[in-house]
Amino acid sequence: MSSDISPLAPKTYAALPPIRGARIETAAAGIKYADRTDVMLMVFDRPAAVAGVFTTSKCPSAPVDFCRENLGGGQARALVVNSGNANAFTGQKGRASTAMTASAAAEAVGCSEAEVFLASTGVIGEPLDASKFASVLGQMAVSASGDRWLDAARAIMTTDTYPKVATRTARIDGVTVTLNGMAKGAGMIAPDMATMLSFIVTDADIEAAALQAMLSRHVGSTFNAVTVDSDTSTSDTLLVFATGAASELGAGAISAAGDPRARGFSKALADLMEDLAIQIVRDGEGARKQVEILVTGAGSAKAAGRIARSIANSPLVKTAIAGEDANWGRVVMAVGKAGEKAERDKLAIWFGDIRVAVDGERDPDYSEAAASEVMKRDEITIRVDLGIGRGKARVFTCDLTKAYVEINGDYRS
């Protein structure tokens, strides 16, 4: 947790209402940090349906392995998350640590270990001493309550400078259901995965398969469309839990993602996911600007996505943004290196509303002063039109500042 709060931090945090069927407690177990909470337990009093997406890393953390195994059961009673240690690349010790945590959580909540979900974030390669918090889970399960969302979001932070929460509502069968979500991010954030840690809970009654289908549909345009530094974590975990408690109020069960009664819910879920994903970018390590990369006119949506990521991950584009320099030549470079079809002489580029390049060269009407004005904003859109097809994609990122280097040159020690 850095002492300097991101200039892009929200001015106020959303007040998250309790979710029927879900209770939360946090504790300070002293895993790595002093004087702060670092463990979060969420209890589902009755089994919640669960859906998840995990890192695509070939070296996933022990908790990711553990969750993947339990996800097949589709049912959750407890979620335990710790910060300060990722329990990644910890071999047999890592598996022993997840086993100890799951066993303690199952006993605390009164469920099977197959209904426990785990996530860990922090340093890679250090053995995680789960005894530090396994012993307090019993007490935490008793004192857990429904109104601790912001506390929970704080407990899972690492280099984040602010907690990330969001809430939405939707109507099912005329009944209002609620979706609450939290996320953590900051560094080791890259596309093609579920970003570091995010947990979303709803009281809607959605079957696990339907929940998974909606989650998978929306992850591409939300969490997988953000990148801080192109580095994919070993621990990325995004879990959605549906307690179903709203069924008691008349919001009937949803068993298929395509059910028209779930349309509003699915839209609210996508919206919530985008909100959390953008909050992660805005708290990217050292970030001073939020950047939206919009690619249109590409050969396909996939090509557009690759080109957008190539721009969003380019150190030269990101440092130019940090320097408030409308350096569109570097955008051309990043389009060119993406390896996707592009015709130089059909390319057009905008910073904000200012078209800086058209037909493969500098826009004759382009005003450097106007473009510089755009670059001074703290939210910048860079749009590239390839002029060769209908493929489009959008990626969110942040600038690359000296603070990123500072934070990451001195994170572990």
Percent of residues in the chain assigned helix, strand, coil, to nearest 5? 35, 25, 40
Asked if 112 interacts with a copy of itself (CB under 8 A), we say no
* 90 touches a copy of itself by CB under 8 A: yes
- Judge contact between 262 and 206, C-beta under 8 A: yes
- Give the separation between CA 44 and CA 34, rounded to whole angstroms: 29
The only residue of 92, 174, 260, 369 in contact with a copy of itself, by rule CB under 8 A: 92
Q: Which stretch binds a copy of itself (CB under 8 A): 70-78, 206-214, 257-265, 399-407?
A: 399-407
Answer for which of 130, 335, 371, 398 binds a copy of itself (CB under 8 A) is: 335
Please state the closest distance from residue 186 (CB atom) to a copy of itself, in A: 11
Residues found in the chain: 413
- Which lies closer to a copy of itself via its Cβ, residue 109 or residue 307? 307
DSSP 35: S
The number of CA neighbours under 13 Å toward the Cβ of 309 is 22
Give the integer Cα–Cα distance in Å for 16 and 12: 12
The count of chain residues that interact with a copy of itself, using the rule CB under 8 A, is 72
Shortest distance (Å) from residue 395 CB to a copy of itself: 16
Site for a copy of itself in 120-149 (CB under 8 A): 123-127
Nearer to a copy of itself, 90 or 212 (CB): 90
32 touching a copy of itself, by CB under 8 A: no
Least distance to a copy of itself, CB of residue 325, Å: 5
Whether 41 and 24 have beta carbons less than 8 Å apart is answered as yes
Site membership for a copy of itself, residue 302 (CB under 8 A) = no
Largest CA distance in the chain: 70
Examine the residue annotation and report whether 195 is marked as an active-site residue of this protein. Answer: yes
Range list of β-strands (E), 140-289: 164-172, 175-184, 197-202, 226-227, 237-242
Q: Strand 379-385 to strand 237-242: parallel, antiparallel, or no bridges (unpaired)?
A: unpaired
Residues 37-66 that bind a copy of itself (CB under 8 A): 55-60
Nearer to a copy of itself, 12 or 92 (CB): 92
Contacts of 9 (CB under 8 A, 6+ apart): 161, 162, 282, 283
- Annotated binding-site members for substrate: 158, 184, 195, 285, 408, 413
Which of positions 234-273 make contact with a copy of itself (CB under 8 A)?
234
Q: Which stretch binds a copy of itself (CB under 8 A): 25-33, 217-225, 261-269, 354-362?
A: 354-362
Please report, as residue ranges, which positions from 209 to 238 form the binding site for a copy of itself (by CB under 8 A).
Answer: 229-234
Q: By C-alpha distance, which of 27, 32, 41, 65 is closest to 236? A: 65
Task: Mark 311-330 with x for binding to a copy of itself (rule: CB under 8 A) and - for no binding.
Answer: --xxxx--xx-xx-x-xxxx
Which residue from 5, 46, 73, 91 is in contact with a copy of itself, where contact means CB under 8 A?
A: 91
The upper half-sphere exposure of residue 83, i.e. CA atoms within 13 Å in the direction of its Cβ, equals 26
Q: What is the DSSP string of 288-350?
A: --EEEEEEEEESSHHHHHHHHHHHHH-HHHHHHHHTT---HHHHHHHHHHT-S---GGG-EEE
Provide, rounded to whole angstroms, the least separation between the CB of residue 161 and a copy of itself: 18
Least CB distance to a copy of itself at residue 335 (A): 6
Catalytic residue among 26, 90, 159, 195: 195
Residue 267 φ then ψ, to 5°: -65, -40
From 2-10, 23-31, 251-259, 310-318, span contacting a copy of itself (CB under 8 A): 310-318
- Between β-strands 361-362 and 354-358, what pairing exists: parallel, antiparallel or unpaired? antiparallel
Least separation in angstroms between residue 193's CB and a copy of itself is 8
| CB-nearer residue toward a copy of itself: 82 or 243 | 82
Query: Where in the sequence numbering do the catalytic residues fall?
Result: 195
